Amino acid sequence: MRFTKMHGLGNDYIYVNCFEEEIADPVELAQVVSDRHFGIGSDGLILIGPSEKADVRMRIFNADGSEAEMCGNGIRCVAKYAFEHKLAEGKGPFTVPGQPACPISLNIETGSGVLAVGLIIDNNNKVQRVCVNMGQPVLAAGDIPVNLPLKEVIEQPMQFLNHALVMTCVSMGNPHAVFFCDEVGSIELEKFGPVIEKQRIFPNRTNVHFVQVDGPAEFTMRTWERGSGITLACGTGACACCVAAVVTGRTERVCTAHLPGGDLDLNWCEEDNCVYMTGPAVEVFEGVWPEE
């Protein structure tokens, strides 16, 4: 099986071109290839295949084998791969209200619907950055889902591990729990992350983010990703944190998220209520995984 390792801000996945490869058991394969000691090493597995609705389809499997609806860093890499490996011809242009247009666009089918992306290319026709229309955020508790007797979970006091925390929940096609704090570096993420992820109030589990607001247009975040653990970046999570920061009056709609792996530019656009995320996509290497 031929594969390509790619990352978005260090959020790394193994990508397989399913136009050419056939994967019998992606759940098992994700667990094996993701192992950082005995496999290739990654946060999970992403399959790129044909779509009846879009240019290509992506399926995301976390390091534990669970399938995710959406991955913000992953979709940028899928866009780069599909364009550079000629799986799809670019359309264009891709426009964002208040921002310069991207000259080339693609549509990608995900577990949370078809998303449009814009490609920013260099003089060698290589994709350097990708802007993704991540869609409209979901704040209704029942749709995230969060099993609490509330219409929306915004600045809700909670108790986890005998600690008082204040939680805001958002879905960006997958569930996120956001906690604002004074210093993200002081949070024992490896302790709180797995406990919050698997709370019974989250029937589909949840991604967990601790966020430090640095100013009206920037914040620093750390992530415990559902099914993968601590990761260097989470694209959907950055979008969720942007929305949470805006609805709680902490930041403006256009802001920058500082993640351990780098920065993402975010815009929760008033015109269409969609969140636009712009960031890099990097191909690391190609290889062949031996047949069992």
Active-site amino acid positions: 71, 234
Residues contacting residue 245 through CB under 8 Å, at least 6 positions apart: 180, 211, 213, 219, 251, 255
Exposure string of 131-151, with b = 16+ CB inside 10 Å and e = fewer, is: bbbbbbbbbebeebbbebeee
Residue 226 structure tokens: 């559902």
DSSP 126: -
Beta bridge partners of 233: none
Q: Are 270 and 230 in contact (CB under 8 A)?
A: no
Considering only CA atoms, which of 110, 32, 68, 76 is closest in space to residue 207? 68
Q: What is the phi/psi pair of residue 255, to 5°?
A: -155, 175
Q: What CA–CA distance (Å, rounded) separates 223 from 230?
A: 6
CA 137 remoteness from chain centre: 13
Q: What CA–CA distance (Å, rounded) separates 266 from 170?
A: 15
Q: What CA–CA distance (Å, rounded) separates 66 from 30?
A: 9
